[in-house]
């Protein structure tokens, strides 16, 4: 066994994946990642070439952003958290925090994050996740 790492383009070329928008392991597009893992079929033959970190990067980006949106909400008492889905004020607080973070990211880094794209899903793709992770120190200040 050789421990190697290949990037997405090499993985797609070796495995015959037609598009960079598709995962070479499961064949799905980023917009299809939210489906349950039971529906995801893994091509075992492809795993011998290595794993592209696309899935992990995108999931980490989305988890990190949603955690940042909810930071103020998480500091509330437990009884307020339980009724959060019914509390219009908390929903508005989360939405305004999300808009603030999105605006700050756009102004300071040029990244459009967590915004819907018609017929595709959202702007959280592999390139956005890669850029986000490469300049993490700068993002830390934006999320405070």
pLDDT tens, 76-104? 555 555 555 567 777 888 889 999 989 98
The HSE-up count of residue 112 (CA atoms within 13 Å, CB side) is: 6
Calculate the CA dihedral of residues 63, 125, 93, 96 and round it to 10 degrees.
150
Task: List Cβ neighbours of 70 (8 Å cut-off, separation of 6 or more).
Answer: 94
Any idea which residue has 């949603």 for tokens? 66
pLDDT tens, 116-142? 888 777 888 888 888 888 877 666 766
What pTM value is reported for the model? 0.58
Higher model confidence: residue 89 or residue 5?
89
Question: Looking at the DSSP assignment, which residues form a beta bridge with residue 122?
Answer: 116
* CA-closest candidate to residue 133, choices 72, 34, 53: 53
The pLDDT score that the predictor gives to residue 50 is 67
Q: Give kind and range of the element (H or E) at residue 117.
A: strand 116-117
pLDDT tens, 43-71? 788 777 766 677 678 778 888 888 888 87
pLDDT tens, 31-49? 676 555 556 677 788 777 7
How open is the CA angle 104-105-109, to the nearest 5 degrees? 120
The pLDDT score that the predictor gives to residue 29 is 74
The pLDDT score that the predictor gives to residue 25 is 76
| Residue 26 in tokens | 């499961």
Cα Rg for the chain, rounded, in angstroms?
Answer: 18
């Amino acid at each position: 066994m050789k421990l190697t790492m290949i990037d997405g383009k090499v993985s797609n070329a070796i495995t015959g994946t037609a598009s960079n928008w598709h995962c070479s392991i499961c064949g799905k597009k980023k917009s299809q990642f939210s489906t349950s893992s039971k529906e995801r079929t893994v091509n075992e033959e492809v795993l011998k070439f290595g794993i592209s970190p696309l899935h992990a990067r995108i999931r980490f980006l989305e988890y990190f952003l949603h955690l940042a949106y909810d930071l103020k909400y998480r500091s509330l008492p437990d009884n307020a958290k339980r009724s959060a889905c019914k509390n219009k004020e908390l929903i508005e607080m989360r939405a305004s925090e999300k808009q603030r973070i999105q605006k700050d990211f756009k102004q300071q880094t040029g990244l459009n994050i967590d915004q819907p794209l018609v017929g595709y899903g959202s702007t959280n793709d592999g390139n956005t996740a890669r850029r986000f992770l490469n300049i993490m120190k700068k993002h830390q200040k934006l999320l405070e």
